[in-house]
Structures are given as C-alpha cells and as structure tokens.
Amino acid sequence: MANKAPVKAKCDSCNNDFEIETKTESIGDTVEKNFFICPHCDKEYVSYYLDQSIRKKQSDLKMLWRNIRSATTPKNYNKLQKKIEELQNEIKEDLRRLRETITAKESGVES
C-alpha cells in the first residue's frame, strides 16, 4: 500500500502553511475529538467529534458497502444503495449535531 501524501493547510490566524498531523483526544467517557494544531501559533482546528452511536453507524455503513459489492440483482443493489445514502445522511446530521452540542457546552451555552 502506497503512503499518502501529507495533507497541508494554511492557518487562518498566522497565515503559515503546515502539514496536518491529526490528533485524537477523549472528551468524557464516550466522545472522541479529532483535531490538528498549527505548529506556528498553536491554533486548534477540530476536524470532527465521534460518539459511540456514530461509530456504530459507521461500522454499519462499512458492512453495507461490503454487501453492495456482492449484490446479485439490480433490485438488491438499489435497496442497499438507498440504505447507504440514508445512513450517510444520518451520520452527517449526527456529526453536525454532536459538534453543535459540544461547541455550545464549551462556550457555556447549553442547548
């Protein structure tokens, strides 16, 4: 397997370019924060938050992708494709909602 090229970013605060080095941190018992930090000014950029429910849905999605590769009929393929799209939308909404909840807590505003 080939190595991926490093992902670069430009800091919004100091305008310096840097390679992203992702980090993970636990928040409480069930939430995981994935982020990176500008090495020049230490500004933190949160990529996303995950909780147990989202991880479960991601696992389910992975299984659906495996199943769709072995779909034997167009009807079965379409059914799985619809489930995949619905689950992707759910995950996207869950990620948005979790980010909003954590951001509100961090800023002292309870939702």
- Rounded Cα distance between 73 and 77, Å, is 6
Whether the per-residue pLDDT at 18 is higher than 80: the answer is yes
Q: What percent of the chain has pLDDT over 70?
A: 95
Which band of pLDDT confidence, cut at 50, 70 and 90, is reported for residue 108? confident
Which band of pLDDT confidence, cut at 50, 70 and 90, is reported for residue 3? low
The per-residue pLDDT for 2 is 56
| 65 three-state secondary structure | helix
Mean pLDDT of 20-44: 95
Model-level pTM?
0.81
Q: Is the dihedral of CA 63, 65, 68, 69 positive or negative?
A: negative
Query: Do 25 and 33 touch, CB atoms closer than 8 A?
Result: yes
Q: 6 or 90: which carries more pLDDT confidence?
A: 90
The per-residue pLDDT for 111 is 47
